[in-house]
């Protein structure tokens, strides 16, 4: 809840408005502890729940400590993303490259890794990044900065159900490529050309969730002689291997 890392909006009406019009921009909602829940706060709570937005309860003292200006926050503050997210369905209708290349980040919470991967995805000319909002607040101002502004350059798709999104992607002829230490194939042993694909990267600690692994068409590994690679380094290696294969194939 550091002021420098997020953009905040204050007060019942402001929070309610974003919740009604653009709920995907909301990262987290903070209620003042022990406050009386009137109709509007109840409505906020209800909508936050429906949209699977994280809720925290914070002491009045803490609110005052964090927000020096002490605005009239009426017991509710929300951190909003600096960017506009894109709906997966809308993304799929866009007329972009012949074959679409997506990167899906499953539970990658560290803003440095998140920002670094988004920058690499943009650099490689991929079509977008998909993030879930289950485990952590996705795009903050820090992520935007680390990405060198790439969050404004490529579509960022936020999903509340990775599993449903994978199913939708499969219906649209996407192949699902998951990275996993125990995979049989090396990342460079599969063919990334002439197909839509979504490359799934998990966090260094937990890896990719089982539900998603079960839906994968391919699993690939990236060998290391010393611990595992950092996830943003691993993402760069695999993304650029796909780019390399595609460039070579396109050569006259």
Among 82, 180, 240, 246, binds its own copies (CB under 8 A): 240
Among 188, 213, 215, 217, binds its own copies (CB under 8 A): 188
Nearer to its own copies, 173 or 247 (CB): 247
* Token reading at 229: 């690679």
Distances (CA, A) of 20 to 47, 51, 133, 140, 177: 8, 10, 18, 21, 35
Count of residues that bind its own copies according to CB under 8 A: 33
SS3 53: coil
Unique residue bearing structure tokens 């990044």: 129
Piece in contact with its own copies (CB under 8 A), picked from 25-33, 40-48, 90-98, 112-120: 112-120
228 binds its own copies (CB under 8 A): yes
158 binds its own copies (CB under 8 A): no
Among 15, 47, 122, 201, binds its own copies (CB under 8 A): 122
Cα 198 from Cα 155, distance rounded (Å): 14
222 binds its own copies (CB under 8 A): yes
Please give the torsion angle defined by the CA atoms of residues 203, 208, 209 and 214, in that order, rounded to the nearest 10 degrees: 180
Please report how many Cα atoms fall inside a 13 Å half-sphere around the Cα of residue 81, on the Cβ side.
26
Question: Which residues form the interface with its own copies (CB under 8 A)?
Answer: 112, 116, 119-120, 122-125, 148-150, 153-154, 186, 188, 222, 224-230, 232-234, 236-237, 240-241, 244, 247-248
């Amino acid at each position: 809840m550091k002021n420098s890392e997020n953009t905040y909006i204050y007060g019942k009406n402001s929070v309610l408005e974003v919740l009604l019009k653009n709920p995907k921009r909301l990262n987290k909602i903070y209620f003042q502890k022990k406050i009386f829940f009137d109709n509007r706060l109840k409505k906020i709570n209800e909508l936050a729940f429906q949209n699977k937005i994280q809720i925290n309860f914070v002491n009045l003292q803490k609110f005052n400590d964090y927000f020096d200006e002490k605005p009239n926050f009426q017991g509710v503050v929300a951190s909003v993303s600096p960017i506009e997210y894109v709906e997966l369905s809308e993304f799929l209708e866009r007329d972009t490259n012949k074959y679409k290349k997506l990167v899906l980040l499953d539970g990658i919470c560290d803003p440095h890794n998140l920002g670094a991967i988004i920058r690499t995805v943009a650099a490689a000319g991929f079509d977008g990044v998909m993030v879930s909002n289950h485990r952590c607040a996705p795009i903050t101002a820090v992520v935007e900065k680390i990405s060198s502004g790439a969050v404004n350059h490529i579509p960022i798709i936020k999903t509340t159900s990775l599993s449903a999104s994978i199913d939708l992607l499969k219906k649209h002829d996407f192949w699902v490529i998951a990275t996993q230490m125990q995979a049989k194939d090396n990342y460079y042993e599969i063919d990334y050309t002439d197909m839509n694909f979504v490359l799934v990267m998990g966090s260094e600690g937990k890896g990719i969730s089982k539900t998603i692994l079960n839906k994968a068409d391919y699993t690939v590994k990236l060998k290391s002689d010393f611990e595992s690679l950092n996830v943003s380094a691993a993402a760069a290696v695999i993304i650029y291997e796909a780019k390399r294969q595609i460039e070579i194939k396109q050569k006259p």
